[in-house]
Amino acid sequence: MCGIAGVIGKGADLEVLQKMLLVQKHRGPDNTGKFFAQNIALGHNRLSIIDLSEGANQPFFDTKNRYVTIFNGEIYNYLELKNELNYDFKTNSDTEVLLASYIKWGVKCLDRLNGMFSFAIWDQEEKKFFAARDRFGVKPFYYQKNDQGFYFSSEIKALFAAGINREPDKQVWANYFAYGSYGMPNKTFWQDIQQLPGGHYLEYSHDELNITKWYHFEEAINLNIELSKEEIKRKYIELLEDSIKLRFRSDVPVGINLSGGLDSSTLLTFVNKRISKESIEAFTFYTNNDYYDELPWVKSMINHTKNRLNEVLLTPESIQNLADEINNFQDEPFGGIPTIAYSQIFNRAREKGTIVLLDGQGMDEQWAGYDYYVKSGNTNIQGVNKSPFRKNVLSDELLTLAVKPEYPKPFDDHILNLQYRDLFYTKIPRALRFNDRVSMAYSTELREPFLDYRLVEFAFSLPLEYKIKGNVHKYLLREIVSEILPNEVTYAPKRPLQTPQREWMANELRGFSESAVDFIEESGFSNWFKIDSLKKEWQKYLDGDQDSSFYLWQWYNFYLLMN
């Protein structure tokens, strides 16, 4: 897990590159490397995970010095690929395997990679630049093309450090306030700063940029699986065990993030089948609020598995400073106090020397685990009874800019299309962004075994009756783990709210909330809003209309980023 940055074109400059690397150094504190030649500057911040030697530092060159690569992520199946390559390897790193794979197979190497990655390769002979992002966009790639050349980085702040204007994209913000959208896969909240969508690659040569989709999920889905129920269970277990095996390839300690839910509990159970439980530490957060905390379910699970548990307490008194800190890493709106709470797990893990953590992200999307898959309406937010947005506080101009997002519907089935939306446009993209930033903020690596593309494709393809049965979501998955998990974990209802954000923002964090309202009124952005309506909504919240605090968090996020 690392950070990459660079400039191709007449804007390539070592001083600019150094500024870009400095602001994202948290992504890789173990080494900073640079490559500079005419019209090309490439940089890398390294967090050492596989092959800790200096020989694996980046930028990394092939044996003939034709290609130079910088790479953020992990190629989990690098050992299997290594056996297929006739190459004179000098290191034990997955970076070298990645470069050798590209040299042998070109762009087709992407289909062979099982991992999370965002990498760039410069061909010194042809003067061509190639970059690619993994299937689901776990690792980021931001860029801007202007008259000075092509600029790219792992974090948006690195582009700002390079001199790119920090200008908000008003329409993206309008869609965020009106519909809760975090943008389409190629967009950011900043004007003229783009991101390479997951499952795409780009080529840049002679000032010409071309972007191509390489991962065709729709074509990989087989909706005519002819397997019995028991065969399906066996195959899913086999794929899951292999995914976990691959994600335990590390030369530094590995731990697990544990909530009280089915997904992370399933993950911990399968991890313990493979690795000695004495060597696997679990991490969880709590807030000392019995209504929201998952600690009882976590402890029930730990009593069953006997792993060591690290409990991280989040208090309202810590939120102000932590919100400022996490905002500096996110660069865009993030998911509220739960994201802040989650960030402190990585902080604790780093303090304890656990550099790699696993979590259960991706299970709900492949198994149709959210309640709104079968409820009427078009929301994708759980735990609320009415709209979490307040369009009535937006100015007429901003509301005119807001366009309700429309997502592709490649399947004939409504629920499959909702799953597809959540995988590629809503739930997974935003969760991956939040989680990449909070893990990297503390120089730790997050791995998601359930987002192994083989698992996602297989579970997604299953008939609906294996996903939802009556009121039970993730039905077959629960049946798979029912013999190895406590019943109170296996059949526990999904808990959409994990922190007392709603209560805190009206009470302990009232000043926190009011600062956002005051900023909006007094700032140069006041014309984005109807201030009287905004104040009335805030008063209604204080008077007890607290079904959702999402819109308050939107205002506070805006304050954090624009202040």
Same structural domain, 36 and 82:
yes
Asked if residues 355 and 49 have their Cβ atoms less than 8 Å apart, the reply is: yes
Start-to-end CA span in the chain (Å) = 30
Angle at 181 between CA 180 and CA 182, to 5 degrees: 120
Confidence bin at 109 (pLDDT 50/70/90): very high
Same structural domain, 257 and 208:
no
Asked if residues 75 and 97 have their Cβ atoms less than 8 Å apart, the reply is: yes
Rounded Cα distance, 497 and 301, in Å:
20
Asked if residues 47 and 2 have their Cβ atoms less than 8 Å apart, the reply is: yes
| Any domain includes 131 | yes
pLDDT per position as a tens digit, 529-541: 999 999 999 999 9
pLDDT of residue 400: 97
Both structure tokens of 206 = 């002679």
pLDDT of residue 386: 77
C-alpha of 547 from chain center? 27
| Any domain includes 504 | no
Confidence bin at 449 (pLDDT 50/70/90): very high
Asked if residues 455 and 366 have their Cβ atoms less than 8 Å apart, the reply is: yes
pLDDT for 1 beyond 70: no
Output the average pLDDT for the chain: 94
pLDDT for 378 beyond 60: no
- Name the packing angle between helices 510-522 and 531-542 (round to 10°): 170
What's the full length of the chain, in residues? Answer: 563
pTM equals 0.96
| Any domain includes 507 | no
pLDDT of residue 379: 55
Confidence bin at 250 (pLDDT 50/70/90): very high
Angle at 429 between CA 562 and CA 415, to 5 degrees: 130
Same structural domain, 169 and 285:
no
pLDDT for 383 beyond 60: no
pLDDT of residue 494: 65
pLDDT of residue 26: 98
The answer to whether the peptide bond before residue 59 is cis (omega within 30 degrees of 0) is yes
C-alpha Rg value of the chain to the nearest Å: 23
Angle at 559 between CA 557 and CA 562, to 5 degrees: 105
pLDDT of residue 421: 97
Both structure tokens of 141 = 């790639």
Q: What is the mean pLDDT of residues 112-137?
A: 98
Both structure tokens of 170 = 């008003």
CB proximity list for 30: less than 8 A, separation 6 or greater = 46, 47, 48
At residue 515, what is the residue type? S
**The last residue of a domain, from among 442, 477, 499:** 499
Range in 81-90, 254-263, 451-460 the model is least confident about: 254-263
Q: What is the mean pLDDT of residues 274-301?
A: 90
pLDDT of residue 375: 77
Q: What is the mean pLDDT of residues 556-563?
A: 96
pLDDT per position as a tens digit, 197-210: 999 999 999 999 99
Same structural domain, 238 and 209:
no
Q: Name the residue among 438, 471, 302 with its Cα closest to residue 361.
A: 438
| Any domain includes 384 | no
Range in 119-128, 149-158, 370-379 the model is least confident about: 370-379
Structural domain harbouring 276: 229-365+416-499
| Any domain includes 385 | no
How many structural domains comprise the chain? 2
**The last residue of a domain, from among 215, 248, 275:** 215
Rounded Cα distance, 19 and 446, in Å:
26
What is the share, in percent, of the chain residues with pLDDT greater than 90? 88
pLDDT of residue 385: 63
Same structural domain, 139 and 288:
no
pLDDT of residue 381: 59
pLDDT higher at 497 or 254? 254
pLDDT per position as a tens digit, 27-44: 999 999 999 999 999 999
Both structure tokens of 512 = 């926190």
pLDDT for 63 beyond 70: yes
C-alpha of 441 from chain center? 13
Report in angstroms the alpha-carbon separations of 294 from 70, 255, 384, 494, 495: 40, 19, 19, 11, 9
Rounded Cα distance, 75 and 84, in Å:
15
Rounded Cα distance, 355 and 52, in Å:
13
CATH code, domain carrying 287: 3.40.50.620
Confidence bin at 377 (pLDDT 50/70/90): low
Same structural domain, 470 and 336:
yes
| Any domain includes 380 | no
pLDDT for 6 beyond 80: yes
Confidence bin at 485 (pLDDT 50/70/90): confident
Rounded Cα distance, 172 and 118, in Å:
24
pLDDT for 410 beyond 70: yes
Give exposure, 287-308, as e/b (b: 16+ Cβ within 10 Å): beeeebbbbebbebbbebbebe
53: β partners: none
At residue 250, what is the residue type? S
Ranges of beta strands (E only) in 392-530 are 445-447, 468-469, 472-473
pLDDT for 514 beyond 90: yes
Point out the residues that are catalytic.
2
**The last residue of a domain, from among 450, 469, 499:** 499
Angle at 402 between CA 400 and CA 403, to 5 degrees: 110
Angle at 562 between CA 560 and CA 563, to 5 degrees: 70
Asked if residues 439 and 447 have their Cβ atoms less than 8 Å apart, the reply is: no
Same structural domain, 25 and 145:
yes
At residue 102, what is the residue type? Y
pLDDT for 482 beyond 90: no
Same structural domain, 244 and 209:
no
Same structural domain, 294 and 347:
yes
